[in-house]
Chain A
Amino acid sequence: APLPGKPQALVTFPGELGSALTDRELAERYLLRFGYTTEAEARTGARHVSLGKALRRMQRQLGLEETGQLDAGTLEAMRAPRCGVPDVGT
């Protein structure tokens, strides 16, 4: 466990795929990868609106509370190990 009181220096470990993502980057990647958003939606200006819609769709599919927000429960689900098959689409 981290030594108490000692500031823990974070290290980027070689060979680890992808460096630490922000919550938003994590969400956008997750929603795109599993079919809740499309490339086009991800690039349009109204990203905030489409993100909320996609989050709500993902929350419904995974049986989470439908808030349309990037809340803790939703983020935890996005970090959980899972199957790689998209939830929506082909």
Chain B
Amino acid sequence: FLTFEGDLKWEHTDLTYRVINYSPDLDRAVINDAFKRAFKVWSDVTPLTFTQIYSGEADIMIMFGSGEHGDGYPFDGKDGLLAHAFPPGRGIQGDAHFDDDEFWTLGTGLVVKTRYGNANGADCHFPFIFEGRSYSRCITEGRTDGLPWCATTASYDRDKKYGFCPSELLYTNGGNSDGSPCVFPFVFEGTSYDACTTDGRSDGYRWCATTASFDQDKKYGFCPNRDTAVIGGNSQGDPCVFPFTFLGESYSTCTSQGRQDGKLWCATTSNYDTDKKWGFCPDRGYSIFLVAAHEFGHSLGLDHSTVREALMYPMYSYVQDFQLHPDDVRGIQYLYGRGSGPAPTAPVPAPTEEPQPLPTEEPQPAPTEEPQPMPTEAGSASTTEEEEEEETPEPTSEPVPVDPSRDACAEKNFDAITEINGELHFFKDGKYWTLSSFWKSGIQGAFSVADTWPGLPPVIDAAFQDVLTKRVFFFAGRQFWVFSGKSVLGPRGIEKLGIGKDAGRITGALQRGRGKVLLFSGESYWRLDVKVQRVDKGYPRATDDVFTGVPLDARNVFLYQDKYHFCRGSFYWRMTPRYQVDRVGYVKYDILQCP
């Protein structure tokens, strides 16, 4: 092994990383999981720990880019250079960059992760049988809304298991529209577009407007790559068009004609000769996990190894059951020591290439319009992505309704109500229900609080989600817990937050932006600085001074659809950000929409 000149290394062991943007080749959850496993390769054999953060400067900033991407070390289109990283230090030091002209997979070909449907976010199974025909791609047959879908088993006819494929008609990534799908046609600089475009951008990423006019609303998102998307060329992300004409001949599949390197390509219009629009066809691609594990080795201070089987060997080769080579272990332990892990007499079998059971996101109801012959989205539990840059560390196991018979509409009141990942959560006696206002498919649940947030008491008083880091704070009595996915900090006493002994239980919370949250107890409220986890000076203050006209003994206080909600008994008072009560109604009928 080799280290960089001067044995560059990090002087602290609790390292942070942040994923600035995501390749459209893979679902965001797949990329996050791959990076997490890649860091675990190194934390398993050292005292180092790695925490993903979602804003601000992390030790290791991760990004995807093509060609020249801002650091003066340009990438080179498909293949060749795959990625690079900088040795430990401040600023760009430690950062890792990945060439987005590559086709990123888990090393064995296209990964098409589905959303919604009834397959819990499983990947497409190619080929699959539908109505007796075999398909090896996403299809729109059987639907009238044009949403591409696939089966997640070998036969849809037999198993009826399916999900929706990545497409701009279903969601977008990044941008400023919280993942909303594209709206076609949309107007940009006076021109009407009915497909994703790279116009107006220099980085080649395809985008669309999420309202009818970008010129007017400035709302946009980046288009996910469909399963037929080409890689690189001059049409990154556009689908192949078959048949297409090339040098006067017609082609209905990818071809290597015209090339010396034998790579398969296709045209993205019906006539290459006239339009010259083309790209490479999907191949096995490069394992984002393996390349990331190598680059993170650089970020930690390892240079290239001369040992061919070592992870830090500079050339890429796909390995099915990856194991860190002793040469890599010696190198990293030379820099950081062994840590508490067992002495790996034989290399500890690192996670296999196959993705671990992917952390699936909160259950999301499927798109509403569901024409036959598709099954109705009964209990669809698929994934969705919070599209701001912040990605919630989702609970690692999919919440499965434990007691569908427990009906939220039968409850007189709730222990706590709060919005998590864009869904309203109603907690009662160790159970909870969720309601999404975006997808109109009603109340989901009852789920078990203990399954989703192990360690919480059955009865909680209040909860809120920190919008910056997506961590969820729970309060019960004078204690609180902080959950990041399934990992929890606590219980700790609320006095640690600076809330005095005179305060009783916390009844609710209102997110105020810029990392501030108002915590309500009795007839007072505190302003919590979530980052430092301390209440600000000058608190508590009297609720009545600011929030006039709402009950002072509210059982629940929560922010929902940008308005403050105070609940008492079966009623709620809704207050505008300008502190005007604009509605009083029934929690059951107005918020829960019970029949």
A residues whose Cβ falls under 8 Å from a Cβ of B: 1-3, 8-11, 13-18, 20, 34, 60-63, 77, 80-85, 87, 90
Contacts and interface: CB of A to CB of B under 8 A. Distances in A.
Interface of B: 4-5, 67, 73, 75-77, 79-85, 99, 102, 232-234, 247, 256-260, 265, 276, 278, 286, 291, 294-295, 298, 303-304, 306-308, 313-316
A82 B82 contact: yes
B385 to A, nearest CB: 29
B574 to A, nearest CB: 54
B451 to A, nearest CB: 41
A80 B315 CA distance: 7
A10 B258 contact: yes
Contacts of B304: 61, 83, 85, 87
Given A11-B247, A14-B234, 15 more contacts: A2-B257, A15-B234, A17-B76, A18-B77, A61-B306, A62-B313, A81-B315, A81-B316, A82-B314, A83-B84, A84-B73, A84-B82, A84-B99, A85-B85, A90-B4
17 contacts: A2-B256, A10-B259, A13-B258, A15-B234, A16-B232, A61-B306, A62-B314, A80-B315, A81-B80, A81-B82, A81-B102, A82-B316, A83-B81, A83-B304, A85-B85, A87-B314, A90-B4
Nearest to B278: A13
A69 B81 CA distance: 23
Given A9-B247, A16-B233, A17-B67, A83 B308 contact: no
The 9 A-B pairs at the shortest CB distance, nearest first, are namely: A15-B234, A84-B84, A11-B258, A17-B77, A84-B81, A81-B316, A82-B315, A80-B315, A83-B314
A59 to B, nearest CB: 11
B256 A84 contact: no
Contacts of A81: 79-82, 102, 286, 315-316
Contacts of B234: 13-16
B295 A83 contact: yes
A21 to B, nearest CB: 11
B314 A10 contact: no
B83 A83 contact: yes
Contacts of A82: 80-82, 314-316
Contacts of B5: 90
A85 B301 CA distance: 12
Most chain B Cβ neighbours within 10 Å, of A11, A17, A60, A82: A82
Nearest to A63: B308
Contacts of A20: 260
B485 to A, nearest CB: 30
Contacts of A61: 304, 306
Contacts of A9: 247, 258
Contacts of B257: 2-3, 8
Contacts of A34: 314
A22 to B, nearest CB: 12
B314 A85 contact: yes
Contacts of B295: 83
A55 to B, nearest CB: 16
